[in-house]
């Protein structure tokens, strides 16, 4: 009797033992399958911290279409109630990505939104359990990010009802500024964080990697960090740092990151601003304030620190800003400009000065020719009209003074001409004063002794005093 139940016991024990042997190696897997997944720290996972490098690492998986689900009508319309039902149709998985989720999903923990978006888009086209768990974590971590909804729907992880309820609150969802837009406008009342100030110091000391880091910060996954990128650039305090920022603008550093789109209804704008507009101009004025130098002096020094290949683009940018172009030309003629010793900076500054001198001479000639023609024709009435007419034009005083001088040369309307000349010549720039000085000298040499000659002598002496350090050669009418 006792022997009969022993084999049965052995069978039962064998079955239990076999079950345990099967469960033990699978216990951890079963437990993990029901627990939430969390991405490892990027450094622990060995991910590149740099956004561009991380995107390059993900590029080995190839490109994928946009993860965009579509709604499909199901059932027939009710003739009276006109009721029909939509179902969400996810994207089709890509066979070539099968089994790649474990390599891709750690990138969901990357601090850069373009990297996370790229990784999530790849996982959308895998749709196995590891990819689903990773996307579920992403949705729980960023529940108000619209592009996350789009990818969840594309992967078939949300119902039509859930998607419609989320779209209903779309106006309240997060459409954070990123990339170019984050650089263009900082939040009201926000100030630089310690991280932004540290980046600004590195940039000011000439660290090019800090410029790239600041640009990439504008696409940070954590919204609170995005303003740090713009603040860091706006806190640059040296021409050396400004030179790096201008180089980044002209050479399109991080252009791909700045223009990266994450399925937002407001697509990112590509960074197209030049070095002397928008953010570039703001930083120039910041450096000017922090150094106490004039902006033309800061700009000349900055260009002297930039690569030779960028001098032509900077020349073209400055030429578009007439006031800045003239300021640099005047700076080149000033005592401060004469102290510039850098070979590159000096050559660049003198090129602008020579260009300005040539252009201004051509304009003066064009403005003078009609007045000289009236003088040669002896048209006193027309000369008086020009001398008396006032207009807000930088060359108009030149024409008035010329007309008044030629009236004196013709011996006409002396009192009126002298009064006009005394009033108008003071408003002229130095190069125009030299032109008038030449004509006044001609009239003075031919004038008879008397009150008129004395007044002309005083005008000539005033004009001569402004010629110190300038080309005061006497210019006579043709």
- Sign of the alpha-carbon torsion through 310, 313, 317, 319: positive
Within 185-310, residue ranges assigned H as helices are: 194-204, 208-217, 226-234, 239-250, 255-258, 279-291, 295-304
Q: Which of 52, 464, 465, 449 is nearest to 248 (CA)?
A: 52
* Residue where the block lists tokens 């300038």: 470
d(CA 296, CA 250) in angstroms, rounded, equals 19
Could you tell me the two tokens for 213? 């880091």
Structure tokens at 147: 């592009």
Question: DSSP state, 292?
Answer: T
Q: Which two tokens stand for residue 240?
A: 């050396």
Residue-level pLDDT at 390? 62
Residue whose token pair is 């997060």: 174
Give the residue ranges of the chain where pLDDT is below 70.
Answer: 1-34, 73-86, 159-175, 263-269, 389-395, 425-426, 466-478
Say how many CA atoms lie within 13 Å of 22 toward its Cβ: 6
Q: What is the pLDDT of residue 182?
A: 85
Give pLDDT, residue 420.
82
∠ CA 251-252-256 to the nearest 5 degrees? 150
- Please tell me the predicted confidence (pLDDT) of residue 469: 47
- The predicted-structure confidence for 287-321, as pLDDT tens digits, reads as follows 999 999 999 999 999 999 999 999 999 999 999 99
CA–CA gap between residue 261 and residue 175 (Å, rounded): 12
Give residue for tokens 């960074």. Answer: 271
Secondary structure (DSSP) of 187-207: PTT----HHHHHHHHHHHTT-
pTM for this structure?
Answer: 0.74
Q: Computed from CA positions of residues 472, 476, 477, 478, in that sequence, does the dihedral angle turn out positive or negative?
A: negative
Write the CA distances from 329 to 90, 344, 355, 436, integer angstroms: 63, 16, 8, 22
User: Considering only CA atoms, which of 230, 359, 240 is closest in space to residue 290?
Assistant: 240
Closest CA to 245 of 283, 201, 295: 283
**Length reported for the chain:** 478
Token readout for 11 is 């069978």
Return all residues near 209 (Cβ < 8 A) that are at least 6 apart.
202
Helices and strands, number each (H, E), in the chain: 25, 2
- 429: tokens are 């720039």
């Amino acid at each position: 009797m006792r022997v009969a139940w022993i084999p049965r016991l052995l069978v039962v024990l064998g079955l239990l033992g076999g079950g345990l042997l099967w469960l033990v190696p699978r216990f951890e897997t079963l437990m993990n399958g029901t627990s939430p997944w969390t991405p490892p720290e990027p450094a622990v996972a060995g991910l590149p911290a740099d956004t561009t490098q991380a995107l390059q690492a993900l590029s080995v998986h190839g490109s994928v279409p946009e993860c965009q689900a579509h709604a499909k009508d199901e059932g027939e319309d009710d003739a009276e109630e006109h009721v029909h039902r939509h179902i969400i149709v996810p994207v089709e998985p890509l066979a070539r990505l099968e089994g790649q989720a474990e390599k891709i999903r750690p990138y969901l923990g990357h601090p850069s939104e373009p990297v996370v978006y790229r990784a999530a888009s790849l996982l959308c086209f895998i749709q196995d359990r590891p990819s689903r768990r990773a996307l579920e974590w992403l949705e729980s971590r960023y529940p108000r990010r619209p592009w996350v909804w789009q990818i969840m729907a594309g992967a078939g992880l949300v119902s039509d009802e859930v998607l419609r309820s989320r779209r209903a609150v779309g106006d309240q969802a997060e459409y954070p500024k990123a990339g170019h837009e984050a650089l263009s406008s900082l939040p009201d009342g926000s100030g630089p964080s310690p991280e932004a100030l540290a980046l600004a110091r590195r940039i000011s000391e000439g660290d090019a990697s800090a410029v790239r880091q600041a640009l990439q910060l504008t696409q940070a996954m954590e919204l609170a960090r995005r303003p740090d990128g713009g603040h860091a650039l706006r806190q640059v305090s040296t021409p050396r740092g400004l030179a790096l920022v201008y180089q980044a603008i002209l050479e399109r550093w991080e252009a791909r990151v700045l223009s990266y789109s994450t399925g937002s209804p407001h697509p990112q704008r590509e960074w197209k601003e030049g070095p002397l507009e928008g953010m570039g101009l703001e930083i120039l004025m910041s450096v000017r304030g922090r150094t106490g130098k004039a902006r033309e002096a800061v700009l000349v020094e900055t260009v002297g620190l930039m690569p030779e290949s960028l001098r032509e683009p900077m020349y073209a940018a400055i030429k578009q800003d007439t006031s800045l172009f003239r300021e640099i030309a005047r700076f080149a003629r000033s005592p401060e400009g004469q102290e510039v010793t850098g070979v590159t900076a000096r050559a660049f500054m003198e090129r602008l000065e020579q260009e300005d001198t040539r252009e201004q001479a051509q304009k003066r000639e064009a403005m003078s020719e009609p007045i000289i023609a009236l003088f040669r024709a002896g048209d006193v009435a027309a000369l008086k009209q020009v001398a008396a007419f006032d207009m807000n034009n930088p060359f108009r005083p030149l024409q008035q003074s010329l007309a008044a001088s030629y009236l004196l040369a013709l011996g006409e309307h002396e009192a009126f001409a002298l009064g006009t000349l005394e009033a108008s010549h003071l408003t002229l720039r130095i190069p125009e004063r030299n032109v008038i000085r030449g004509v006044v000298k001609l009239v003075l040499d031919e004038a008879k002794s008397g009150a008129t000659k004395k007044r002309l002598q005083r005008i000539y002496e005033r004009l001569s005093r402004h010629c110190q350090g300038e080309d005061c050669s006497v210019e006579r009418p043709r």
